[in-house]
A and B are shown apart, each in its own frame.
Chain A
Amino acid sequence: MDSLIQLSIYVLLLPLVSFAVQIFFSGKLPRQGDFIAAGFLGIAFALSLYIASSVVGAFNPDFKLQWQFTWVDFGNVKGIGELKFKMGILMDNLTAIMLVVVTGISFLVHIFSMGYMEGEARYGRYFGYLGIFTFSMLGIVLVDNFFAIYCFWELVGLSSFLLIGFYFEKDSATNAQNKAFMLNRVGDIGFWLGILILYSQFHTFNYQEIYANVAAGKFGMSEGMLTLAGILLFMGCMGKSAQFPLHTWLPDAMEGPTPVSALIHAATMVAAGVYLVARVFVILTVDALQFIAVIGAVTAFFAATLAITKNDIKRVLAYSTLSQLGYMVMGMGVGSFAAAFFHLVTHAFFKAGLFLGSGSVIHATHHEQDMRYMGGLMKKMPITFATFTICLLALSGLPLFTGFLSKDAILAGALGFAKVEGSWFAVVPILGFGAALLTPFYMGRQWFMVFFGENRADQKPASAHDDHHHGHGDDHHGEIHESSLVMTAPLVVLALMSFWFVFSPNPLSGENGWFMKLIKTPETVVLAKATEPKSLGANEHSASVVAVSDEKKDEEKKNEHGSEHKDGHAGAGEHHAAFKNERQAKLEHEAHEAHGTAVMFSISFAVLGLGLAALVYGKGMGALGLPFEGLSKMMNWFNDTIPENGLVGGAARVGKGFASLNGALDKNVVDGLVNLTGMLVQLFGIVFRKLQTGRVQTYIAFLLIAVITYFAFNFLK
């Protein structure tokens, strides 16, 4: 086994050990074991950094390291043949980077939680839950087959459930955790069905084998089925990464502790869906990709419109996350694989920074989460203010920050997509840019409401006071001060990761940075006529296209090759494999062209958004009661009522109907049969009881009859 793989297994298992230690021993450990948990995660982080430096240091876009072992071998099963389940690890550039992101942010969250969760009930168990979450998330990014990723997927859902409902004494928390898990499950149904479609064709769960089989044209069903499989797999992403319409759980998930929101709902778990799309990218057909792009764009815009109406500091960030996830998914759908993954990574850092920053604020204001009663925190919490500002600027997409690099790349991709696909797909970049305008606006709103002006804590109506006091020994009620080092240090780290120089030397474009150069969009293996075996001509043709479209750097080559293809293209079915890669090449080409436009628009939108926010909210709460009340109500209806009352309610009613039918069956038919049997037995009993007279004479009489009958039978034959 390669040493890297071995190390990655350690990285995977360390958080699990942390979980076990915390769950079983935290009561007996000093300080309930928070140092130990953070220590384990620290080691895991260090190991991940080492692994990443090896993998990324090799700077090979096609780096792939795989290790497998047979998990269960059923031998030769009648009717199926060989049945063997293998498990394994796939080490890829994607995986290595995700390892660093997951363990890094988990580590920082552990440290932050040591300050934030101080004095809380079940403190030790909290770190245990963080541990199992990290373990599950690492499992998702490490494994090489669909069955295992599904197992870890569910584990992550479970961990999220446990963490969201951490304050389970509150009804809102338990509702939220149920909602999260159930919506996740709905997505997982689609996910599992998609996996099964693929398994039914290839009898393997392994990514590489499935992709090789699709490339060889062995997918026995129509391309429509392949599209369906792709969309079903995407449903898993919709549930986990909260795309419309399975998004309603994410804002409610803010019931969990804030560091949890940072870890799970900003940086890692919700990114798992995007990671999944990245993994299955190669077998997504054009239709599936279009679907994904539209859903992503819709989510991005729609969540952003909701973010401007919310007053809770965490809810705004939650909707922001929804919006950014929409961006990532949209990026995948428009073919900007590297850009979308880039956004995943950058977003993880600055969004975690924002969430932890809000945690710092919440901690300082003694768990006051309503932004209307904050204000003036800039002077009192300078470090939090500075880090929050940096992450905020990154999210808004201003140059000099990582957010700009990745968002800009995605928007360029969206523009390219619209140009290639044409017609009404132009809605994708429109929605994308709309969200790009709203994002800095709602972030600016949040910025001004929380940090500027005068503190408005006294404006809070006394009856609505939060009786959520945690056992803080000091009762500095009303006194707001900067958080301790253990909380500000992670903030500083995350803010530093939001500067441009981490990923690219050029503050205005990410394309020359190591990240974009390293992550290549994998070529799609989808053939147009999936059942047609590739003829030799097409084989060579597609191979050459594959070789060329590998190099993203040389634009001219692509250009001339593109035009070449247009000629040799006419109506040849076998060349469809080449067509798909050519489409990818065209998308990338258009994206590159549109880069300039995208930069221009995104910078201007960012500035415009922040400027508008300053105008409206700058002078310490100018017009708070903007027509956002009405918008809020409308969006709430759209956002919550339709999915919940409509879909969920409808499903519930159907379920109730079935249940009552079932009940009638149960009462009448089943119970009726049971009663009938009883009655029959009773009847027989009555009859046979008459035989037991207790008198000798009757017995002798029966004896006689029996003897006569016996003789009669024997001698009358």
Chain B
Amino acid sequence: MTRKNAVVALMGVELILNAANLNLIAFSKYTGTMNGMMFSIFVIVLAAAEASIALAIVLNIYGTFRSVDLTEIDTMRE
């Protein structure tokens, strides 16, 4: 959120997802059920899919704006 580069922001998103996964597995171990582990497997898959799409969007943005600096991509302003 606070980074300028779009790719770095995406890396941040990956980090968040992985952190959530860790949390899920830890709690699953804590309660002894399988729910957390199943959920985290789903999350891994989704994270992968979403990362690919996100990178594709960033590629397109680079094609249009010639930069990946988030502060410059503000044409949707009023």
Contacts and interface: CB of A to CB of B under 8 A. Distances in A.
Using C-beta atoms within 8 Å of the partner chain, give the interface range for chain A: 10 to 19
Interface of B: 1-2, 9, 70-71, 73-78
A694 B1 CA distance: 14
A692 B70 contact: no
A697 B4 CA distance: 9
Contacts of B77: 692-694
A700 B1 contact: yes
A689 B1 CA distance: 22
B76 A697 contact: no
A693 B74 contact: yes
A695 interface: yes
Interface in A675-696: 689, 692-696
B76 A701 contact: no
A704 interface: yes
A137 to B, nearest CB: 72
A696 B78 contact: no
A697 B2 contact: yes
A692 to B, nearest CB: 5
B74 A704 contact: no
A704 B2 CA distance: 12
10 contacts: A689-B78, A692-B76, A694-B75, A694-B76, A694-B77, A695-B70, A695-B73, A696-B70, A696-B73, A697-B71
Contacts of A693: 74, 77
Contacts of B73: 694-696
B42 to A, nearest CB: 21
A700 B10 CA distance: 13
A692 B78 CA distance: 6
A701 B1 CA distance: 7
A692 B77 CA distance: 5
B66 to A, nearest CB: 17
Given A697-B1, A697-B9, A704-B1, 10 more contacts: A689-B78, A692-B78, A694-B73, A695-B70, A695-B74, A696-B9, A696-B70, A696-B73, A697-B70, A701-B1
A689 B9 CA distance: 26
Contacts of A696: 9, 70, 73
- 3 closest residue pairs by CB, A with B: A694-B74, A694-B77, A694-B76
A577 B61 CA distance: 104
Nearest to A692: B78
A287 to B, nearest CB: 78
Contacts of B76: 692, 694
A457 to B, nearest CB: 87
A706 B71 CA distance: 22
B20 to A, nearest CB: 14
A259 B43 CA distance: 103
Contacts of B70: 695-697
Nearest to A704: B1
A686 to B, nearest CB: 10
Nearest to B76: A694
A114 B78 CA distance: 79
Contacts of A704: 1
Contacts of A701: 1
Contacts of A695: 70-71, 73-74
B40 to A, nearest CB: 21
Contacts of A689: 78
A690 to B, nearest CB: 9
A689 B2 CA distance: 22
A454 B63 CA distance: 112
A700 B3 CA distance: 12
A697 B68 CA distance: 13
Contacts of B78: 689, 692
Contacts of B75: 694
Contacts of B1: 697, 700-701, 704
Interface string A544-573: 000000000000000000000000000000
A700 B78 CA distance: 18
Nearest to A703: B1
Interface in A659-717: 689, 692-697, 700-701, 704
A536 B75 CA distance: 99
A610 B71 CA distance: 112
Q: In this complex, which of A692, A693, A697 has the most chain B Cβ atoms within 10 angstroms of its Cβ?
A: A697
Nearest to B61: A696
A704 B75 CA distance: 23
A1 B2 CA distance: 97
